[in-house]
Amino acid sequence: MGKNQSSFSSDEIFEEDELYEHFHFSVDSGQTPLRVDKFLMNRIENATRNKIQKAAKSGNIKVNDKVVKSNYKVKKGDTIKILFSHPPYENLLIPEDIKIDVIYEDNEILVVNKEAGMVVHPGHGNYSGTLLNGLINYFKKLPLNLDNRPGLVHRIDKDTSGLLVIAKTEESMVSLTKQFHDKTSSRKYFALVWGEVKNENGKIEGNIGRSLKNRLQMAVFPDGDYGKIAITKYKVIERLGYVTLIECELETGRTHQIRVHMKHIGHTLFNDIRYGGDIILKGTIFSKYKQFVSNCFSILPGQALHAKTLGFTHPKSKKWLEFDSDLPNDFVKLISKWKNYAVHKNI
């Protein structure tokens, strides 16, 4: 393991009688001495230093089960726990009347087409209005996964649209989770990326882990000394001048995998705010072009990424199922606008 690294789980875990959100970190041997507030800032998304210091003053930061101050220096072998004021996770799992686009349903599974902008499950900063809140309203009872999230086998980012499979029974949860773990399922995405992708197809291999420079981003570690192995295959669907429409197939399922891998090879997703795709990365300096790109950004408010197809073996019938979804209207409109530009280039 490299310098300043740690293995951690930032999923929400809640103590039975407290109203706190609980993050747990195990510091590995590569960690150099660092103040615990800075250490936590680098690892908890949306947590400000002020919020972390308040947690310390309230006695809600523990190292090796002992309360510490914000200036405590973390060291290898430390186990760090932090609690934030927040309703318990189980209190967030309440039914909400949320429209769900159901693609397929039987007694074992449900396949849904998530719209961009919808968070998959409640968590830090997103406590209601999620897909999971809608699913609980739809089903009333679903099996729990390893993170106690009912029905969820996998997830996609808030601003990514597309297909998700939901387990309706314990048997389906076990079967589908194993398929995703063993990489026997199939997931293909459409993405619009900046630049002209040189090769018609390719494979990106490089470990993905939390960035050591920007705590809000994931990053590629090609030497394999940090993060988890990640493999993305891609092929060009259409070349549209300064952008390219591609299809990506996941062999692994890491956080932000396509977004991080494509940026790594120099083709950041169009309008990907977190990874710098919301600025003009390719094109001319003319004002009409700048206005054109600005108009394109307004069409699709998040990254241009859609989980288009999903394939897996049915947990009970053992038959291979594959589902396909149409691109959202705003994504289609965005592509059409770039097609028109690519043909004329006189804007």
3-state DSSP helix/strand/coil percent for the chain, to nearest 5?
Answer: 20, 30, 45
User: How many angstroms separate the CA atoms of 5 and 31, rounded?
Assistant: 6
CB 268 within 8 A of CB 235: no
Instruction: Work out whether the CA dihedral 266, 269, 274, 276 comes out positive or negative.
Output: positive
User: How many angstroms separate the CA atoms of 152 and 157, rounded?
Assistant: 14
Query: Which residues are CB-neighbours of 288 under 8 A, at least 6 positions away?
Result: 347
User: How many angstroms separate the CA atoms of 147 and 326, rounded?
Assistant: 30
CB 163 within 8 A of CB 154: no
What is the Cα Rg of the chain in Å?
A: 22
User: How many angstroms separate the CA atoms of 191 and 249, rounded?
Assistant: 11
Residue 284 φ/ψ, nearest 5 degrees: -95, 175
Residues marked active site are found at 157
User: How many angstroms separate the CA atoms of 157 and 119, rounded?
Assistant: 7
287-299 and 329-344 are packed helices; what angle lies between their axes, rounded to 10 degrees?
A: 160
Nearest CA among 159, 172, 163 for reference residue 102: 163
User: How many angstroms separate the CA atoms of 345 and 283, rounded?
Assistant: 11
